[in-house]
Amino acid sequence: MAAMVVAGAVLGGAVLAGCASPADSRTEATDSPTAATASPPAAPKKPPTMAPGPAGRTPVFERRPSGDGAGRSAERVVALTFDADMTADQGSRAASGERFDNPELIALLRRLKVPSTVFMTGRWAEEYPAQAKAIGTDPLFEIANHSYSHYAFSTPCYGLPVVEKAAMTRDVERAFAAFRKAGARNVVPYFRFPGGCYDDATLRALAPAKVTAVQWDVVSGDAFATDADAVADQVLAGVRPGSLVVMHCTRSAAPATEAAVRRIVPELRERGYRFVKVSELMEG
């Protein structure tokens, strides 16, 4: 759907758009219980995933389905997701002071107690390992996968360099490995395509990665936006029960996001919405 792809924005060759974890990281999330516990420790909650499509195709989740007949459509839940974009060639820019992180945004989400999902590139976790660990060990957050270096998984995709089909699964696994190396533990097996770009061949090629792809139904328009109110207005106008909102966690390319969230969160709570992580949105 074309509408699903507009979250990408291009500036200076960089694209922002709409972070997941394999079974081994879930295993890591299980802290070993102390030896003397009388009852067995509760099993770690496994994040829900969607069943693969035909021929193992990677499934795609966009929002909690509405009208499922169980009354869930009316539940006012919404998932805010934040993409932590960074490409391999942006290392020198980071070294010269450009900030691809946004710790103020993360601090705000903590202050407001907003559970959220960060779709992180492996490259971002390598650049900001302390932040990746802090986010990935805070139960308020979950880290999902946004590829290693924000290359396109189908073309055209905003002029992004392209990952070859044979290298797609490896690219996703490389990002998961970067999260593990940083010490992140609450990592979920979800993947967001850079630029939101994918096609049927991509879904087939990515099948071995065993991830659920996560798109969105609400585009915040925060990429390169400077008017926080416009971003907030767009989100507030677009959210419906079960919505999934795409935003960014990279100050240099999405400078208005924190200010927009400052408005979005109280206004949605006023309307009766509860914020959930993607894993909770996907449940049921």
Q: Which positions lie near Zn ion, rule CB under 5 A?
A: 17, 83, 85
Q: How far is the CB of 15 from Zn ion (least distance, A)?
A: 7
DSSP state of 98: -
Record the tokens describing residue 53, joined without a space.
Answer: 């499509």
Helical segments of the chain, H only: 23-28, 91-95, 103-111, 122-127, 129-135, 168-182, 200-205, 228-238, 257-270, 278-282
Helices (H), 96-187: 103-111, 122-127, 129-135, 168-182
Instruction: Please answer whether residues 42 and 254 qualify as being in contact, where contact means their C-beta atoms are separated by less than 8 angstroms.
Output: no
Rounded distance, CA 129 to CA 55, Å? Answer: 37
Q: How far apart are CA 111 and CA 271, in angstroms?
A: 20
